[in-house]
Structure 1
Amino acid sequence: MNIKNTRVKHIIATSLCIFSATSSANIVSVDQVLEQLNPIEQRIEQTIERAQRLPLPVPVPQVSIDELKAQISEPISSLPNVLNININSQNTAFVEVELENGFRAIERQWLLMANSQQVNTLKQQNVTIVSVKSYNALNMSLVRFNAPQGVNSKSELLKALNLDESAILDRNHIYQAQTGEPTEKVTPNNSIAPYCTQSVKIGMIDSAINTKHSAFEGANITTQSFLPQGLSSPNLHGTAIAGLITGKGAKLNPLLGSAMLYSAEVFYRQSEYAQGATLFAIVEALNWLVSNKIPVINMSLTGPNNAVLEASITAAIKQNVLIVAAAGNQGPASQPLYPGAYKSVIAVSAIDANNQIYRWSNKGDYIDFAALGVNVVTSQGNGKFGRESGTSMAAPHVSAALSCLLLKHGNNKTKALNELTSLAIDLGEHGKDTTFGYGAIYPPKSAL
């Protein structure tokens, strides 16, 4: 910087003249002012010189769209309003649509818990019956049918079918997995330890599992698909959940050292980043798990309130089953998501290693417990290990703890739940709150 003294003197002199006309302040000479300006000018010049000597920023490598997509979890709202779920290029399994409330369902398809008389009545109506099935373990029968064109609400359908308002009727809704995108950079996480080492049964309703993953070498896993014939289940989410429960390796400590894991496959691929499960498949999965006398069922999925889902959950719990569900990853302002929001279901929110709530974790008076669910090391569908986040990752902690406590208390649900509550570390507000529930559940220093 190079200031011309003559020009500066002229500016200063003019300013001083104006200033002297409006103020009683003492006037100093122009040379005195310049003496004060010169050191300032020198410091500015030195600063600019130092800045010019700084190294140029390291060029940021360009990232392709595909690489960027791999780091972003596609929101459900980005799915098209109408989506064909194809078995192959020639055959469509079903069509899912977005509803007015933002949730999704199979197009025109409804489920009715019905007795034989209601089934006969339904057959005489203008509907297409897809299936009629009895679920002995749940002590219920379910009719799956397609509603007439133009009938879009439950009230309209009840009237059209001449059914009483007490009928347990609802859409074949779609439910979503509750986890974020995986990260492959992994360091061993030794903070996770088994809740118990005994052989315990535990169930999960999820996607397929990559059982060939090294984490499952020697694992006791029984799987069953409840998808339409020819429709495959992606293995991303299920592999991560199963890895937490029973996966082993240098980078992975299982929550249950000797679990007998029963995995019901219900998720199908909606897009490269999203996967959904129909309510019909979830009901079938519940029936299978209850029939195998599974004491605890982990459901790391969420969706809308649904009369048929609630009735199915209630039927399972009557068979002395505990159901644990992810609270949801829609954020603290979200409406309640189900099945976690049902009073009979144990809802789990996610925290990080510093006991801070996961920023996308749902809040509400239905939250029962919190557990580690942020940057959790687990197995991935691609055969590698990585870190996952979400309430999906937190729910297995509570499921594992309850499995061990039920074994300890002779399958007494009340005693198991009471001890789990006593083990919870109170976080946030004193007592049960809408963020952490009764508190955080951690793996014990010694097995339960």
Structure 2
Amino acid sequence: MVRAILIAILFLSPTAAFAQSAPPSTARDPAQTSQTAPSGGRNVVLLPQILADLFGPGQGGDAAPPAPNGASAPTDAAQGGGQGNPATQTPAPIQPPRTSPVTSPRAISGAFVPDEVLVTLDGGAGVAAEVAALFGLQVRSTRVSGLLGQTVARFGIPDGRPVGFVLAQLAGDGRLAARVPNHIFELQQAAGIVNYAFERIALDASEASGETVSVAVIDTALDPEHPALKGVVAGEFDALPDMAVKDRGHGTSISGLIAGQGPFHGMAPGARLLHARAFEGGISSTDVLLSALDWAASEGAQIINMSFVGPENPLFAAACRNAMARGIVLVAAAGNNGPGAPFGYPAAYDGVIAVTATDVHDKLMGQANRGRYVDLSAPGVNVIAPIPGGTDVVTGTSFAAAIVSGAIANLMRAGAKQEPAALATLLARTAVDLGPPGRDEDFGHGLINTKAALAGR
């Protein structure tokens, strides 16, 4: 029935039905029946009510928490062109897939900013402005992504059209390579005493070191005056420059667990720590995270810790693939949303090392995600970590991921192969099997064993 109605609409319309809406100055309600309006010498047809009904309301709406605005360089200034791993030749960027038209917002999984979409295109701010004008959108930011090799434009939807509806409209413009929602990501900290992590992962605290290894953390802001982090941070980037810093807790804990020194001994003291602030109030967006990932790659990060979880997003997936192609090891939290939760991304992307959390007895954290994407287990239940003003007990796959990032920095310093796939294979082969024999969906390959990995490198 729906197909027949669509065929009838196409037959009756004087031009192609997917030529979409008018520029802002002549924008109309997309629910109006088919009308034409001039735009740059073309007749533009407004989609009729029947198509709006088919797309239905977006899933962002009130169910999605307000996401931080993207932080982007103006116009065409390239950011994150990046040398990546200095020892690795930079391959040509993998282009994001040219997505097929979205047929219903119900196909959009996860929370997203309800009045924004992200697109990639060849060209700069001028092309983005033309596209925005044609479809009645606002250009909220544009920047060149070094990892994606294209301009990323963040468009605002000023008239209340659902995100799925706008993505379908944009499918008619051949200048756009990818069109995705601006998904929302959340930090992975669960509610939570000598730090037992060193013992459980077989890493000698007195010999632990990440000296000469560059480790980037994408997280909240950190406390630069904390005794464990003072003088440790080699570079900082603020992906939310227009938003006041209120939260420094999670970022302080993650960076401290990796590179803390002095009164608090991190897993890899001496590491060259690069810290990108991309979260406030526990949430971030795809656009913000892309800018932080670009920055980390451009600063020569060899390991990037991503202790957050969100839905699958093609742009972020492509950026992660390109980062790994440059030789950068990506470590991510598997998620704290329980056994029945959907896969957590970026941990579930191929090649990313997905880390779940265990306790002092090597028992799995009850809130941990499960799934075939889980690679490794590491201490993440009631571990001691720095917080602003001192230390505290923390729990979550976030902290397990940080411990694995620190362990990998030790391996790199000791001369282990730095290519991401080779390192992942080494860690899987030397892990201590937990749960059922072999790899399983709870513990992955098992508990990371730094001593065995050092011996087997």
TM-score (norm 2): 0.69
What are the Cα deviations for residues 115-172 of structure 1, in whole angstroms up to 9, with x where unaligned? Answer: 1296344443211111221123542320110135343243652335623699421111
Structure 2 residue aligned with 1:256, among 250, 261, 268?
268
Structure 1 residue aligned with 2:441, among 430, 434, 439?
434
Structure 2 residue aligned with 1:378, among 370, 373, 385?
385
| Pair 1:168 & 2:174 matched | no
Q: CA deviation at 1:247?
A: 1.5
| Pair 1:246 & 2:256 matched | no
Residue 350 of structure 1: aligned partner: 357
Mapped contact 1:154–1:170 kept (Cα < 8 A) = no
Residue 409 of structure 2: aligned partner: 403
What are the Cα deviations for residues 183-214 of structure 1, in whole angstroms up to 9, with x where unaligned? Answer: xxx54646363654533110111001111112
Residue 147 of structure 1: aligned partner: 157
Report SS of the residue matched to 1:282.
Answer: helix
Mapped contact 1:195–1:447 kept (Cα < 8 A) = no
Residue 390 of structure 1: aligned partner: 396
Single out whichever of 167-176 and 277-286 deviates more from structure 2: 167-176
Q: CA deviation at 1:288?
A: 0.3
Structure 2 residue aligned with 1:131, among 138, 141, 154?
141
The aligned runs of 1:188-203 (5 Å cut-off) are 189=196, 191=199, 193=205, 195-203=208-216
User: Distance in 1 between the 2:382 and 2:338 partners?
Assistant: 17
The aligned runs of 1:35-74 (5 Å cut-off) are none
Q: CA deviation at 1:404?
A: 3.3
Mapped contact 2:66–2:113 kept (Cα < 8 A) = no
| Pair 1:205 & 2:205 matched | no
What are the Cα deviations for residues 9-30 of structure 1, in whole angstroms up to 9, with x where unaligned? Answer: xxxxxxxxxxxxxxxxxxxxxx
TM-aligned CA distance change 1:293 to 1:187, over 3 Å: closer
Residue 315 of structure 1: aligned partner: 322
Q: CA deviation at 1:86?
A: 9.2
Residue 244 of structure 2: aligned partner: 231
TM-aligned CA distance change 1:217 to 1:444, over 3 Å: farther
Mapped contact 1:176–1:302 kept (Cα < 8 A) = yes
| Pair 1:416 & 2:429 matched | no
The aligned runs of 1:181-192 (5 Å cut-off) are 181=191, 187=194, 189=196, 191=199
TM-aligned CA distance change 1:405 to 1:446, over 3 Å: closer
Report SS of the residue matched to 1:262.
Answer: strand
Residue 374 of structure 2: aligned partner: 367
Report SS of the residue matched to 2:444.
Answer: coil
What's the C-alpha RMSD, in Å, of the aligned pairs? 2.9
Letter in 1 for 2:441: T
Higher relative contact order (CA 8 A, sep 6+): 2
Letter in 1 for 2:361: N
Mapped contact 2:148–2:318 kept (Cα < 8 A) = no
Single out whichever of 410-419 and 303-312 deviates more from structure 2: 410-419
Residue 279 of structure 1: aligned partner: 286
| Count of residue pairs brought into register by the alignment | 349
Mapped contact 1:305–1:338 kept (Cα < 8 A) = yes
User: Distance in 2 between the 1:414 and 1:203 partners?
Assistant: 19
What are the Cα deviations for residues 81-113 of structure 1, in whole angstroms up to 9, with x where unaligned? Answer: 4766799xxxxxxxxxxx988843323111111
Q: Which runs of 5+ in 1 are unaligned?
A: 1-78, 88-98, 270-274
Residue 334 of structure 1: aligned partner: 341
Mapped contact 1:406–1:416 kept (Cα < 8 A) = no
User: Distance in 2 between the 1:80 and 1:167 partners?
Assistant: 29
TM-score (norm 1): 0.71
Report SS of the residue matched to 1:310.
Answer: helix
Mapped contact 1:197–1:447 kept (Cα < 8 A) = no
Q: CA deviation at 1:431?
A: 1.5
Letter in 1 for 2:276: A
Mapped contact 1:264–1:285 kept (Cα < 8 A) = yes
